[in-house]
A and B are shown apart, each in its own frame.
Chain A
Amino acid sequence: MGRLMASDVEKVVKLFRKRETQESFGEWVVQLARKIQEKPEDIVWFFNEMRRRREWEEKLQEFERVTEDLSPEELFELAVKEAENAPEIKKSTEELLEEARGNIRKFKRLEVKLKRIGVI
């Protein structure tokens, strides 16, 4: 099993306490990856990304709720201050966009395949 999977998958497998569960989970990821012709580490990446998206959605909803009483002008001024104090991003807008879109395309590709076989 160890030779078949990348370290990212092994890290997740080790989250399970029982050895039998570790083995069955690892095996499941490998089988699933084979079935949809993807890498096991990408299966783990996909489920992690699903969790990130859900958490981001929740953060956004919570942020909208707590800023409900602020006017757009007030929120804009807060955002300007936040931008002035944020650390610099060295990459260009196009580089950032390209990288983010690459992840989105990968997520959609895996989502379609996993839906097709009824996993999600």
Chain B
Amino acid sequence: MIKAKIRVVLDTSILVSALKSKNPRGSPAWRILKALVAGEIENYLSGEIYEEMEHILMEIAEGTRREVLALQILTLVKKKSVFVRPRRRFSSDPEFLKKLRDPSDAKFFGVAYAKKVEYIVSENTKHIVQMRDETTKTYRFDGRKVKILKAGEFVREVLR
């Protein structure tokens, strides 16, 4: 029987964590990239998410000795992810934005909702990770739920 891929939304912070890591063989962010390449997980993103990833990695790495690495990470993520156009926009929901605190993170929830993903993986504790219920590590949408895990948690609990 073919094992179903784990459906995820990777936040930009996972790419930043991989970009700054000095130990790719022991880094959770790199383990996640490896899972993406190997087809263990299926990552969904929108044009808006990819644009943010491009600009954030440019801000950090352009003109430095990590520039090639940034290009490699972006190319890998683009090659191995599924692009979607979510219809529902959480950025226009005032209640949701009040809890999230940063409107620019709403796009990750929009894709997670549209594709009914199981996990949002993020190192952004100030905005994305704080949305979860700490007991269940889950965030509930209208009738849907998504687990929000940090990179290390995702590796330990899901990829092993």
The smallest C-beta distance from B55 to any residue of chain A, in angstroms, reads 5
A20 sits at the interface (CB 8 A): no
Partner among B23, B55, B71, B78 whose Cβ is within 8 Å of the Cβ of A104: B55
Binds A, one of B58-66, B85-93, B113-121, B130-138: B58-66
> In the complex where A73-B37, A94-B125, A100-B60 touch, is A80 in contact with B55 (Cβ < 8 A)?
no
User: Is B16's CB within 8 Å of the partner chain A?
Assistant: yes
Q: CB distance B75 to A64 under 8 Å?
A: yes
- CB-CB contacts below 8 Å: B105-126 with A: 123-126
- CB <8 Å contact, A84 and B24: yes
Q: Known contacts A56-B54, A78-B72: does B22 contact A88 (CB below 8 Å)?
A: yes
Does A83 lie at the interface of the complex (its beta carbon under 8 Å from any beta carbon of B)?
A: yes
Please state if B30 and A63 are interface contacts (CB–CB under 8 Å). Answer: no
Q: Are A82 and B37 in contact (CB under 8 A)?
A: no
Closest to B22 in A: A88
Q: A residues within 8 A CB of B67?
A: 59
Q: Would you call B21 and A83 a contact (CB within 8 A)?
A: yes
Shortest CB distance B157–A (Å)? 20
A13: shortest Cβ distance to chain B, in Å?
Answer: 23
**A56-B62 in contact given A83-B24, A93-B17 (Cβ < 8 Å):** yes
The size class of the interface chain A forms with chain B is: 20 to 34
Closest to A80 in B: B24
Q: Does B145 contact A (CB under 8 A)?
A: no
Distance, CA A57 to CA B62, complexed state (A)? 11
Taking CB as reference atom, which chain B residue is nearest A102?
B59
Chain B nearest CB, measured from A22 CB (Å): 27
Q: In the complex, are the beta carbons of B56 and A80 less than 8 A apart?
A: no
- Chain A CB count within 10 A is highest, among B23, B55, B62, for B55
Contact, CB under 8 Å: B123 / A94: yes
A94 touches B13 (CB 8 A): yes
- Which residues of A sit under 8 angstroms from B25, Cβ to Cβ? 80
Closest CB pairs A-B (n = 5): A100-B59, A79-B72, A89-B20, A63-B71, A83-B24
Residues of B whose CB lies within 8 Å of any CB of A are 12-13, 16-25, 30, 33-34, 37-38, 52, 54-56, 58-60, 62, 64-69, 71-76, 78-80, 104, 123-126
| A residues apposed to B, CB below 8 Å | 52-53, 56-57, 59-60, 63-64, 67, 72-73, 75-76, 78-80, 82-84, 86-89, 91, 93-94, 96-97, 99-101, 103-105
